[in-house]
Amino acid sequence: IRKFNIDVRLVVADLPARAKITFLNGHAGYYACGNCLLEGSQCLRHRHILYTWSDYSQAQPHIRTQENIDSCAAYAELSGKKSYGVHQSSPLSQIISIPHQCVYDYFHLVYEGYMVMLLKEWKLLLKQVNIHYIDNLLNDVRYPHSFHRKPKDFNSFTQWKAGDLRTFFLYLALPLIIRLQPALSNKIVYHFSLLLISVRTLRHFRRRHEINNMKKFIHEYLKIFPSIYGRCRELLSTHILVHLPEQCIRHGGLSFHSMFTFESQLHCLRKMGHGSKSLSKQIAFWYTINKRLDTNNEYSIDLLTKQQLRYDIFFDENIRILHQQIYCHTVASRVYTSFDLLLSSLFYYYHCFINHSYHCLVFDMCASNYYSQKQNILSRKQYQSSQMSTYRSRVTTNDTVYSLY
């Protein structure tokens, strides 16, 4: 028997699954936060439990620790009553610290929760003419080739996939609501910008001190929140934002421990299990079989030579031709004496390496310009032509082709 040592870095789940595996109260109950001991208060009108910013800032609740969870679980098991939202001891407590390592998933929280809620609220304030305007704008957006999800038809946003919501939240929402003024107020724009800046920074940051700056943005966002969307929207999912900076200090950017990638795989995995017995065993068996069968599905040389795959709105064909000429002239004529014989292999090399690396170069120049609209094309082309002249001068002053990269 072989033994494997496994280190569990963290466990990530959406709110209902998280409550189930940790044996803590769900998001609709009291003491549902896994990171602090904020009790929550009941809304007298709807009877739901609210976790308001005013309660949090006034009460300044204690942080929840694993020791606290263990003692509450022991008490709950003895008395048969829940203690601070803890039902019983979770097996997870034996291998991880629940407050530190059972993390919140920003994909469910922000994209599927927040973004949809905000879109519903904004839609109430918009007229049909505004919605037409949004649809036209969404149709006009020119995306980089790596964007597979392109949100369209604002009225059907409830059917948008997580990828659509991500694209919309990160790149489209802010420029869009700025253009929708005065239908959407300055306050809404300012308020959303606080959330956008904090989430964009926390999902991927370069320096760790940037995390601390985001605490101010989140606090300001939560403070203003009830004055725009009402107290009844201050649910657990709103309160949890306050704990995201600490989560990033422990585990890095939100995008590196989100469920975004797992979630799309769930559908495939679900199809591998049948009935209700030994589901994990069935899934493991069929996953292994499928993995074996998939090994023949390799990329062929066609991937790099097919014309349609080279089509990209960010790709400048003139630069490609120039690059090809420089390559053939400089490398082929100097390195290989029998050029004709090696032409096919050179083209393969060209397509595999040079075309690809050059493409990345062009793409990188434009990648920062995600929200690219028609009026930006001129400036982009001007930029590329200036880059072309730079390359030309570098080629004439330096004979080695590698200086190009």
| Sites of contact with Zn ion (CB under 5 A) | 33, 35-36, 38, 43, 45-46, 232
**CB–CB of 105/259 below 8 Å?**
yes
The amino acid at 177: I
**CB–CB of 291/268 below 8 Å?**
no
**Closest to Zn ion by CB, 27 or 323:** 27
Q: How far is the CB of 56 from Zn ion (least distance, A)?
A: 7
**Closest to Zn ion by CB, 38 or 354:** 38
**Closest to Zn ion by CB, 232 or 343:** 232
**Closest to Zn ion by CB, 75 or 229:** 229
Residue 389: HSE in the Cβ half-sphere, 13 Å Cα cutoff: 5
Residue 118: HSE in the Cβ half-sphere, 13 Å Cα cutoff: 23
Question: b or e along 190-223 (b: 16 or more beta carbons within 10 Å of the residue's beta carbon)?
Answer: ebbbbbbbbbbbbbebeeeeebeebeebbbebbe
**CB–CB of 240/33 below 8 Å?**
yes
**Closest to Zn ion by CB, 45 or 374:** 45
**Closest to Zn ion by CB, 33 or 184:** 33
Separation in Å, CA 214 to CA 64, 157, 219, 227, 268: 22, 28, 9, 21, 37
**Closest to Zn ion by CB, 184 or 199:** 199
Q: How far is the CB of 194 from Zn ion (least distance, A)?
A: 19
Query: What is the C-alpha separation between 236 and 11, in angstroms, rounded?
Result: 19
Q: How far is the CB of 106 from Zn ion (least distance, A)?
A: 15
Could you tell me how many helices (H) and strands (E) the chain has, helices first?
22, 4
Residue 242 CB neighbour total at 10 angstroms? 21
For residue 269, give both structure tokens.
């995995």
Residue 165, SS3? helix
Query: What is the C-alpha separation between 166 and 261, in angstroms, rounded?
Result: 13
Q: How far is the CB of 43 from Zn ion (least distance, A)?
A: 3
Query: With the CA atoms of 174, 166, 303 and 294 taken in that order, what torsion angle do they form, in degrees rounded to the nearest 10?
Result: 180
**Closest to Zn ion by CB, 232 or 289:** 232
**CB–CB of 237/109 below 8 Å?**
yes
Q: How far is the CB of 32 from Zn ion (least distance, A)?
A: 9
**Closest to Zn ion by CB, 13 or 38:** 38
Query: What is the C-alpha separation between 94 and 285, in angstroms, rounded?
Result: 28
Q: How far is the CB of 108 from Zn ion (least distance, A)?
A: 17
**Closest to Zn ion by CB, 51 or 107:** 51
For residue 237, give both structure tokens.
């999912």
**Closest to Zn ion by CB, 43 or 326:** 43
For residue 170, give both structure tokens.
């990160």
Q: How far is the CB of 236 from Zn ion (least distance, A)?
A: 8
**CB–CB of 241/225 below 8 Å?**
no
Q: How far is the CB of 9 from Zn ion (least distance, A)?
A: 22
Q: Is the dihedral of CA 350, 351, 356, 361 positive or negative?
A: positive
